[in-house]
Each structure stands twice: as C-alpha cells, then as structure tokens.
Amino acid sequence: MKKLLTFILLCCSLALSAQNTAIQNALKNYDYELAIKLISNERKTPEMDLLKAKCFKNISKFTDAIKILEELFKQSTENSIVYELADCYQLSGNFARAKLYYFMALQAAPANRFARLNYVNILYKLKDFRHTISECKSILKTDSLAVLYPILGDSYLQLAKMDSAIYFYRKGFDANPDDYNSLTKLTKLYLQTEKYDLLVSSTNKYIQRDSTNQQINQYNGIGYCMTGNFPKAIYRLDKLSRNGDSTLLTNFYLGASYMANDDYDLAYKPLQIAYNADSTSHKLCFYFGKACVKYGESKNGIRLLERGLGIITPPDSMLYNFHYNLAEGYQQIQNIPEALKHLQLAAKYNPNSKMTLYKIASTYDWALKNKTEALNYYRQFMLTQGKSKTDDSNKKNTSNPNKPELGISYYTIAQKRINELVLELKTSNKKADSN
C-alpha cells in the first residue's frame, strides 16, 4: 500500500512538472494563447492568475487582463499587481485610471526610480505639463536621468515657453549626442527663434556622427542659408536634391541660396518644385516670380509677383470693412480717438465712401468740438454730392415713402451745419481780435 501511494504521488509530481514545463515552453516561444489555455487547466492560485493576466496583456487583451488583476487587487495590494494594473490601463488608453495605480505604486515606494518614471510618463500623457515639469525637476535633484530632459523640453514646448524648451532639449542632446528626436525638435526651435548659428553648430555636431540623415542635413543647409553662407548651403541642399529630395524646404532654401548668389538659371528649377508644393506662399511667389523674370519668363514672373502681392496685401475693400466696423465698435464704447483713427483709415482704403466722410465730420463736430476739422470734412462730404449714382447717400428710400431721401437729408444737414460753423468761427475770430 505504501509503495502504491508513493507511486501515485510520483506520477502526480511528474504530471505537474510536465504541465509547468509546457507552460514555460509556451512562454519561451511567446505563444501566450497556448499558455493561457494551459494555465486555465491548472489549479487556481494568485500566482497563476497573475501569470494569466500578463499573458492577456501581452496579446493586447487588456480588458481580460484588467478583470483578473482587479480581482487579485481585492485580495492583495502587492506592487506587482498594482504595476500590472497601471500598465494595462495605460496600454488600453485609460490614462486617468493608470495614473491612480501608478500613484499608489509611488506612494508605496517613493524613492523607486521605476515608479517615479512611470508616474512622470502618465502625467505627460494626460497633458498635465506643469505637474510633469515639477515631478521631473524633483527627480533630477537626486538622480541625473538624461531621459528626463527631452520630456521637460516637450512639456515646456507645449506651454509655449520656447527658451526653456530649447534649454532642456540642448541638455538632452548634450547628454546623448545620438538623440535624433531631441535634435530635430531643437533645430525647428532654432529656426523659429532665428538662432541660426546654433542651428548650424548643433546639426554639424550630429552630421559628424551620422552624415546620412536627410532631415538634419536639410536643417544644416537652411542654417547656412540664413547665416549668409550660401556656398555651404548650396553644397548641402544641392546634394540632397540630387539624391531625390523634392521637399518644399530643401528646394525653397536651395533656390533662395542660388538667388542670393545671382545664379537665377540654377534657382529656377528648385523654386519651381517648391512653388508647385505650395502655391499659396507669398515668399515663394516672390522668389519664383523674380527667378522667372530673370530667367526670361517675364509674363509668368509678373503673374506670380502680382499673385504674391495679392496674398500679402489684403484688398482695400477688406481693409475698409475692418476699419469701418472697428470705428463703430470704438464709438459704442465711447473711445472717440480710436474711432476717429479707424474712420480715417476706412476713408483711405475707400475714398468713395461718402458716409465715412460724414461720420468723420460729425465726430469732429459733436464729440471732439473741433469746428475747423469738422468744417473741412463736411465740405469734403458736400463735394461728393452727385458724384456717384451708385452710392447709398444718393439713393432714394423706396421702402418707406414717408421718410425723406437719405442723400437729401444728409446733404441738407451737412450744408446747414457748414453755414452754422462758418458763422460760429467768424464770431469766435472777431472776439479773439477784439481781445
């Protein structure tokens, strides 16, 4: 009987060992679905459930993994369970829930680097940039983790603090010269903030390590162009162009560099490529238009230059509408000087607007009590009488026959006021002479 019992126990042990070996083999071969099936046949234990949850996580079945982990969390708050829950919630896109569990892990081990980095990461994903910055700086007080510099740069960039973003991207790049992503963001900021010398030096530093990176070579060429070193800009950008780079930036700055060297024939092709990529840019209209004129395509050049002028300068009618309505807004808040300024600008962009002249006159007259300027503008207004049959001030009011014609009423009022102002000015001049 004793021998039989020993034999049975040995068989069970061998069976369990074989099953565990099968699970381990499945995990070693990344066959997580098979591992899940094998684990499901095992006796249910917290360890097996945790392993099963990890398998579900590894095949992106986060809901199934979370369900198991939440049940385990009710029984135990071990950090291994907390981390897995946080990770699953993060991978499933539920960052708020992930933050909760990462925070719990951090509370359990405040000095744990893994916990702190995960908490920073989830703060950034939640776009809580101010707290991300605060946590990163707190870690850097005691731990020189270069990986935090790009995160700080990104956070400051999102808060539109360019100088701080540049500072931390530079620290990140200095700490890791192979950090292409930080350098790319840094070069764009250098270009945006017109720090062209730094743009050249930082890209040169990277090119010494990797001369094949197209984007870094592109920004290096742009930097040389913007610092006035056109031969080096042409060398760098022409090389990219010959290798098939048809991007707008490469061809625009290559063309601009040729133009600066008075090589208009060579500028024509890259500027044409750039213009075809973006025909709405007034700069491209100007550069390509100028190249066309110099190249002998005068009509095409004129067309492009006129198009560029139209893009960069709004039509007078639009400017008139802006200023006229700005004046009305300022009048409503009783800011008379600003209202008058915009009325005068409206008159400049639309000299045929009779009512603008009338409003300027009445503003000088009643609001500013400037009789001389009021008289001047009333007289300008009267000169427009009968000038244009299409102007509103000459149209009859057909919708309301009981109301007098707009043109007649305003011109009548203006003429009457002119007569009064002439008399008032004469009287005041006589009084001044007698004194």
In the predicted model, is pLDDT for residue 58 greater than 70?
A: yes
At residue 132's C-alpha, the angle toward residues 128 and 137, to 5°, is 160
Task: Give the model's confidence band at 149: pLDDT under 50 very low, under 70 low, under 90 confident, else very high.
Answer: very high
Q: What angle do CA 288, 291, 293 make, to 5 degrees?
A: 110
Token output for 165: 């973003």
pLDDT at res. 408 = 57
Answer whether 271's CB lies under 8 Å from 251's CB. yes
Q: What is the pLDDT of residue 20?
A: 74
Burial class (CB in 10 A: 0-12, 13-18, 19+), 208: exposed
Put simply, whether the predicted model's pTM sits higher than 0.85 gets the answer: no
Structure-model confidence comparison of residues 275 and 14, the more confident one? 275
**Euclidean distance between the first and the last CA atom of the chain, given in angstroms as a whole number:** 144
What mean pLDDT comes out for the span 150-173? 95
Question: 115-146 pLDDT, tens per residue?
Answer: 999 999 999 999 999 999 999 999 999 988 99
- Given pLDDT bands bounded at 50, 70 and 90, which one contains residue 434? low
Asked if the model's pLDDT at residue 261 lies above 90, the reply is yes
Written as one string, the DSSP assignment of 54-96 is HHHHHTT-HHHHHHHHHHHHHH---HHHHHHHHHHHHHTT-HH
Q: Where are the domains positioned within the chain?
A: 23-118, 127-193, 196-313, 316-427
Whether 318 has a pLDDT exceeding 60, the answer reads yes
- Overall CATH class of domain 127-193: mainly alpha
Vertex 338 angle, CA 335 and 342, to 5°: 135
C-alpha gyration radius of the chain: 38
* pLDDT at residue 5, rounded to an integer: 43
- pLDDT at 173 > cutoff 80: yes
Instruction: Tell me the average pLDDT across 226-232.
Output: 97
- What mean pLDDT is predicted for residues 411-416? 94
Q: One-letter amino acid identity for 189?
A: L
| CATH no. for 196-313 | 1.25.40.10
Shortest CA distance to 272 belongs to which of 255, 295, 296?
255
Determine whether domain 316-427 maps to CATH 2.160.10.10. Answer: no
pLDDT of residue 399 exceeding 60, the answer is: no
* Domain 127-193 matches domain 316-427 at the CATH topology level: yes
pLDDT of residue 288: 93
Confidence of residue 317 (pLDDT cuts 50, 70, 90): confident
Task: Annotate 178-216 with DSSP letters as a single string.
Answer: T-HHHHHHHHHHHHHTT-HHHHHHHHHHHHTT-TT-HHH
Confidence category of residue 325, pLDDT binned at 50, 70, 90? confident
Question: For residue 270, which amino acid is it?
Answer: P
Per-residue b or e along 31-53, where b marks 16 or more CB atoms closer than 10 Å to that residue's CB: ebebbbebbeebeeeeeebbbbb
* Digit-coded pLDDT (tens) for 64-88: 999 999 999 999 888 889 999 999 9
**Amino acid letter, 165:** A
Distance of CA 236 to the CA centre of its chain: 28
The pLDDT of residue 11 is: 41
Residue 391, pLDDT above cutoff 60:
no
CATH class of the domain defined by 23-118: mainly alpha
pLDDT on residue 19: 59
